[in-house]
Structure 1
Amino acid sequence: MIRRVVAAGAALAAIGAAPPPASRPVARGWQTSGDGSQRLTPVDVAERRTADTVVIAIDPQQRFQTMVGFGAAITDASAILIQGLAPAERAALMRDLFGTGADRLGLGFTRLTIGASDFSPTHYSFDDMPAGARDPSLARFSIAPNRDAMLPTVKQALAINPRLVVMASPWSPPGWMKTGDSMIGGTLRDDAYDPYARYFVRYLKAYAAEGVTMRYVTVQNEPDFSPGDYPGMKWPAVDRARFVGRHLGPALVQARLPTRVLEWDHNWDQPRQPETVLADPAARRYVAGVAWHCYGGDVSAQSRVRAAYPKSDVFFTECSGGGWRPGWNAGFGDTVRNLMIGSTRHWARGVLLWNLALDPKGGPHKGGCGNCRGVVTIDPATGTVTRELEYYALGHLSRFVRPGGVRIASSETGSLATVAFRNPDGGVVLLAYNHSPKALPIEAAIGGVVARHRLPPGAAITIAWPSAAR
């Protein structure tokens, strides 16, 4: 068909006929229904206006945060499953996840674990020692545990998307650095603050030598939780501030590393913790922002802390799907409304879900969550890949909002949640979610290009306007 159109245009030009007028810019829409029967399905956004149409006001002149990206964590479990695929199937999945265009997911942000998490086959660090032994010089340090699965996976992701932003978080220091001499429980020993800062530097340099530069690190995953069956530790805010201000921050500067520190990496329900760290002048000098999880509290905590410290960036770094949010109606709606829309309206520059991939049993894992769900499910027995509801929730923004895009103002109602962005090329993206029990006719316009659509209950729609419509 395209060849015939081109040929016809050439024939008209040959006889001196005027070429057809350039088509006007149009808006396009993609919808996911609350029951999952539609999944990022192209839909008509040129419907007729009705008396009850909800008009969404978009104001590109009101600009907020600049976006880093959207993505999910490459855990040991995710990397092992991805590397277990046949080479052709692995390459196809990675292109789908990290590639752009042609309906690919376009992930631009990921999180690694510094050592083991609960989604690791063993509880390891990069400097394990026999019980009672210590290694303050880090003579035994090695990232060898990551060479078989984690490193090949993140390097393949970077080969597909060289702009991929990578961050990393530890679940625990090596056991010998902690009270209790174990990666489970305990806290950081006073005499381990300096070795632990050097441990971060060694990790960052080792990954950089492999071509993986970390844009951000957090100093402790969920520092107000001490799990009983997988690595972790409680680490009070005043002690985290001391570590960052007196040890880690100066060590990063001395090593001339570009990595920035994000504070907290835990739930919305304790904003006082990151505020305590940011109130410390020495720590604040090295803290670029605050990272948040979804498992307690309200997303508005992100705005509270940013209002108190407006130079501090906001990131949303973990939320997992799982058996506690079964089915599309609960899981998809919560992910879109609270994370994709809620966290970005409350200043998040990046949004990360938890495991990029898990198996049908929610593993492999050693302790911790037994019914978590990945963005994709990989069956290691068959190689079958299933794209879960989180895949489509992420896709409503990751496919359309480019790195460097800026959040702009968009109006909401009691039944309709929205967020909007302007991409570097001038194109505009709107995500709207209907959390009412009835369909809502909606309308939005950019540069005179109007989009109208009847949005079903529990459904989300992404509407994109090209740069020519600005």
Structure 2
Amino acid sequence: MNKLSSLMAEKTGKESKYQEIKNATYGTVEEQQPLGADTAPYMTRMSSSNISNEKRTIFVYLCQNIAWVIIIVLLTIIFALAGERASSLQESADLVESTAKASSIKWRPCQIYTDATEDSVKILQTSIGDPSNQWGEIPCLVRKNHKLPYSKIYDDPQWNWLFGSDGNTKTPIEYGSPSAVIKTDFSNIAHPKRSPILGFGGAFTEASSLNFMSLEKPGRDAVLELLFGSTGLGYSLGRVPINSCDFSIESYNFDNVEDDFELEHFDMKVSHDVESGMVELLLHASKTLNDAWSGDKLNVMASPWSPPAWMKKPTKADPAGSEHAVNMTGSAVPNCLREGTGKESRYAAAWALYFTKFISAYKAWGVDLFGVTVQNEPEFPAPWEACAYNPSIEADFIANHLGPTLQRDHPDVKLLIFDHNKDHAVKWGKQILNKHNPASKYVNGTAIHWYAGGMDRLLDGAVGQPNVHRYASMLKYQNVSDDHILLGSEACHCPSTGYAGGDLKVAWARAERYAHTILADLAAGSQGWVEWNLLLDSIGGPNHLGNMCDAPILAVPYRIGKHNVSELPVFEHADYPFGPVAGDTRTREELNALGMPAEYVDKGVIVQPMYYYMGHISRHVRPGSRAVHALVDQSEFGRTFQESDGTNVIAGGGVNDLARVGVELTFWPCEGSTRQAWTFVDNQLQVYGHDWLGAPTKSCVGKEVDVSFKGLLLSTCNDEAAIFDIVPLNATLGTSQILFNNADATEGQNCLSLLGLENSGGAYGKRGGSQATIGSCDDESAVWKFNATTGEVISNLYSESGGEVCLTTGWPYLQSGAFIDKDGENKTVIVLNEASDSANYVLRGDDGEILITNSIPSHSIQTILL
């Protein structure tokens, strides 16, 4: 009641909040009834000496205002009875107001078009426009008459009271037309023969446990609830290092006795993991999840970074003549183990036994590990704990040692291969899972990381998606069962933390990248997502090699009851490597306004935007769920973001933050955004934008197909860029070929071409992310329309499948994912808008049925529960 009443305040001096929202939603009076013939007579009547007409006009004016007051009072009563829906009305109204002001796209309020009751549809939203209102519920109106055009309301009786009137005829209110259609098909399961989604989670590293133990009980309780509880993320997956990793305060292992091949000295109490709090955190997390989510089980896998140094070959950094490595950090290549991985290798046999001892030790503490990966990042001889393999060496280790040992001692524990970046996943899978490889019969799954592999951290999570489709497709032809696990096993943003940097836009961009990659992985066939550390400190540690990274929640116990304090925990090795912690200079109230709730700051915990974006997925896509077909397409009303003033067509969405070297070139339904706007300059296809920090970028279509990703990438606009000729094909149709003049390709095989996704495109279908490549000029995939006005490079190759697609840097601003739960009853649709403009959309279900129409603000995520 108070919230709605406040909308009527401040009538003097400025328009009421309700009127502003009404204008933003329905258009101003001038928009609803343009100034013209009716305006002059109105002014004439007001200045007339006919006093009766003047009084009559005043009377009508007062009646109209009284009518609005009555309407608002009625709405107050209605929404007060609506319970939780009413509680979010003010927040939603604020979002409507701010977004309508920031965008030229006319706002469209949420409307439900199903025959079900209002309570059967719920829309939750988190937006940078209102960062402190996370998972806020958007109020929706129920349309009873489903036959009316969803762009307008003309003669629907239930809406007549909303229409303006000139005293004779009713003037219909026209909402913003949906400029995107989210097409879902809940009967079309993307990967019906494969196992369902396992869930989401994070790693129980020493860094996480030390930060957890640094908190007082209210803070610890808050962390457990935030990550595993009924009001939190409901994490059901976990990962624990075997021995130390970089997110430890020093290297350690559980048997440091040289040549103890039978591991008689193995610490079966895993004392280090108990004393650091790792085991305690695991047990608390498991109980919290089990109590809160109807008995859901916490599935934890273990991954090694390095064996004890005595099992490893010496590295180049070790003294000459060393019999083995001096430290667990670094690795010899291509095989880290002494005596290799052949059948006679005593060290490989001891290392395999080490796995089973570790599993047994954790089981004794009440932690049943569901699986292990062979090696974390086997391609990287990292400066921290590492052990390098290539595919054949890892296969030998599995076939000769790890596979048989696990089968003997722990036959119920699953074995996952690779555990590294997407670029080489297919290469590893083809070799190890081949039916002729003796290792294949022991393998139960594949783990992948989200990193780009280079030093450009802004590419993490941005590349390699077509390879996930390739991997899922490849599994059909390898020696694996239908329940072979494909799991995202590690992801995080580096360097440092969003809290430390203090820039909300950067923290928000990190959250958006999380959501994008999770949805894309699930669409391609991944069965879950495990982020890196569950909990870090303010600067992203501790990490004994200074490799500071981010996490959705951070421990800052020194902030309890204080502000403007900068203080690192005693176990932190770093000394502010990225400068002062900007978050520590802000008060709890300032942090609360930025979406880091004060209620948790008071307990020593910082909750970042990544957390809330994760929750839009993990809370509602529960274990047992399945991805179904969903794709954002253009509507019959035009492009999602493209705007026109009648003379100039402008690409919308804001400045392109993916216009950077290394980003993959893909094809998606045309949305009219800057991610699909190209300029043809000096025979190059160029795209402009900026990175997350605001630095301007200009990139060009590269001239070479990437060996690992099998498609074209953005390059610098120098010798690495392609030089094109655009050759007309059909003047009537406006089609052309785009020829590479400087690529390493023979004539006739040097045309820009569309390369379809394997795996039938997964949940996105053919039109959701096909690659750009160099191919045959005689193929239909090499026929284009280049619209110099809009900058779009358009293909109609998939016109029979739904429509045209446009050349895109990375992926579109507007994305979606759809899921059904394990019982097939509850349906979830997630909508992600990375643009700086709002977007209107219509959500269609099976057979094209309209479910809802709605708008999503800029830089926002919505979860639609059906």
Normalised to the residue count of structure 1, the TM-score between the two structures is 0.87
Match in the other structure for 1:412? 632
CA distance in 2, matches of 1:79, 1:430: 34
The partner residue of 2:607 within 353, 369, 387 is 387
Unpaired stretches in structure 2, ≥5 consecutive residues: 1-80, 82-115, 143-149, 152-175, 291-296, 315-324, 453-462, 477-481, 499-505, 561-602, 634-668, 670-811
Match in the other structure for 1:96? 226
Match in the other structure for 2:282? 154
Match in the other structure for 1:107? 235
User: What amino acid sits opposite 1:452 in the alignment?
Assistant: T
- Name the stretch that deviates more: 440-449 or 383-392: 440-449
Match in the other structure for 1:58? 184
Match in the other structure for 2:26? none
Match in the other structure for 1:360? 538
Secondary structure (helix, strand or coil) at the match of 2:527 reads: strand
Does 2:358 align with 1:203? yes
Match in the other structure for 2:328? 183
User: What amino acid sits opposite 1:265 in the alignment?
Assistant: D
Report if aligned partners of 1:53, 1:441 keep a CA contact under 8 Å in 2.
yes
- Pairwise CA distance, 1:23: 4.9
CA distance in 1, matches of 2:376, 2:140: 42
Does 2:128 align with 1:128? no
Does 2:477 align with 1:317? no
Q: Percent identity?
A: 28
**Deviation per residue, 1:99-158 (Å, 9 max, x gap):** 12xx321111111111111110110112123xxx32111112111111121000001101
User: What amino acid sits opposite 1:257 in the alignment?
Assistant: P
Q: Which has the higher contact order (CA 8 A, sep 6+)?
A: 1
CA distance in 1, matches of 2:828, 2:369: 28
The partner residue of 1:138 within 239, 263, 271 is 263
User: What amino acid sits opposite 2:538 in the alignment?
Assistant: P
Secondary structure (helix, strand or coil) at the match of 1:314 reads: strand
Match in the other structure for 2:639? none
The partner residue of 1:423 within 803, 821, 838 is 821
Match in the other structure for 2:35? none
- Pairwise CA distance, 1:376: 0.5
Does 2:323 align with 1:167? no
Match in the other structure for 1:253? 407
Does 2:509 align with 1:330? yes
Report if aligned partners of 1:306, 1:313 keep a CA contact under 8 Å in 2.
no
Match in the other structure for 1:284? 440
CA distance in 2, matches of 1:427, 1:25: 13
Secondary structure (helix, strand or coil) at the match of 1:411 reads: strand
Report if aligned partners of 2:181, 2:842 keep a CA contact under 8 Å in 1.
yes
CA distance in 1, matches of 2:611, 2:180: 28
Aligned CA distance change for structure 1 residues 262 and 35 (closer, same or farther; 3 Å): farther
- Pairwise CA distance, 1:328: 3.3
Does 2:855 align with 1:454? yes
- Pairwise CA distance, 1:75: 0.9
Match in the other structure for 1:213? 368
Unpaired stretches in structure 1, ≥5 consecutive residues: 6-21, 466-470
Report if aligned partners of 2:815, 2:832 keep a CA contact under 8 Å in 1.
yes
User: What amino acid sits opposite 2:860 in the alignment?
Assistant: A
RMSD: 2.3
CA distance in 1, matches of 2:300, 2:627: 21
- Pairwise CA distance, 1:305: 1.5
User: What amino acid sits opposite 1:432 in the alignment?
Assistant: V
Does 2:834 align with 1:435? yes
CA distance in 2, matches of 1:336, 1:356: 17
**Deviation per residue, 1:179-209 (Å, 9 max, x gap):** 0223112311222111111110111111112
**Deviation per residue, 1:23-81 (Å, 9 max, x gap):** 56521111122467243222235487543342222212211251100111111100111
The partner residue of 2:123 within 7, 11, 29 is 29
CA distance in 2, matches of 1:277, 1:35: 48
Aligned CA distance change for structure 1 residues 324 and 387 (closer, same or farther; 3 Å): closer
**Deviation per residue, 1:267-314 (Å, 9 max, x gap):** 111131233222253211111121111112412211212211134431
CA distance in 2, matches of 1:270, 1:36: 40
Match in the other structure for 2:378? 223
**Deviation per residue, 1:381-423 (Å, 9 max, x gap):** 3451011222112111111111111111112244421111111
Report if aligned partners of 1:30, 1:461 keep a CA contact under 8 Å in 2.
yes
- Pairwise CA distance, 1:436: 3.7
Aligned CA distance change for structure 1 residues 233 and 380 (closer, same or farther; 3 Å): farther
Report if aligned partners of 1:35, 1:328 keep a CA contact under 8 Å in 2.
no
CA distance in 2, matches of 1:352, 1:256: 23
CA distance in 2, matches of 1:35, 1:111: 34
Normalised to the residue count of structure 2, the TM-score between the two structures is 0.48
CA distance in 2, matches of 1:406, 1:463: 16
How do 1:290-301 and structure 2 match up within 5 A?
290-296=446-452, 297-301=463-467
User: What amino acid sits opposite 2:239 in the alignment?
Assistant: R
Report if aligned partners of 2:305, 2:386 keep a CA contact under 8 Å in 1.
yes
Aligned CA distance change for structure 1 residues 433 and 204 (closer, same or farther; 3 Å): same
User: What amino acid sits opposite 1:424 in the alignment?
Assistant: K
CA distance in 2, matches of 1:388, 1:248: 40
Match in the other structure for 2:211? 81
Secondary structure (helix, strand or coil) at the match of 1:161 reads: helix
CA distance in 2, matches of 1:446, 1:417: 16
Secondary structure (helix, strand or coil) at the match of 1:224 reads: coil
Report if aligned partners of 2:181, 2:632 keep a CA contact under 8 Å in 1.
no
Match in the other structure for 1:8? none
The partner residue of 2:430 within 272, 275, 292 is 275
Give the count of matched residue pairs. Answer: 438
Match in the other structure for 2:526? 348
CA distance in 2, matches of 1:354, 1:164: 16
Secondary structure (helix, strand or coil) at the match of 2:487 reads: strand
CA distance in 1, matches of 2:617, 2:117: 26
CA distance in 2, matches of 1:323, 1:458: 22
User: What amino acid sits opposite 1:165 in the alignment?
Assistant: N
Secondary structure (helix, strand or coil) at the match of 1:67 reads: coil
- Pairwise CA distance, 1:446: 5.3
CA distance in 2, matches of 1:23, 1:380: 46
The partner residue of 2:618 within 398, 412, 423 is 398
User: What amino acid sits opposite 2:864 in the alignment?
Assistant: I
Does 2:420 align with 1:266? yes
Whose radius of gyration is greater, 1 or 2?
2
Match in the other structure for 2:76? none
Match in the other structure for 1:13? none
Report if aligned partners of 1:27, 1:451 keep a CA contact under 8 Å in 2.
no
- Pairwise CA distance, 1:430: 0.9
Report if aligned partners of 1:290, 1:314 keep a CA contact under 8 Å in 2.
yes
Secondary structure (helix, strand or coil) at the match of 1:266 reads: strand
CA distance in 1, matches of 2:489, 2:833: 25
Secondary structure (helix, strand or coil) at the match of 1:202 reads: helix
Aligned CA distance change for structure 1 residues 246 and 412 (closer, same or farther; 3 Å): farther
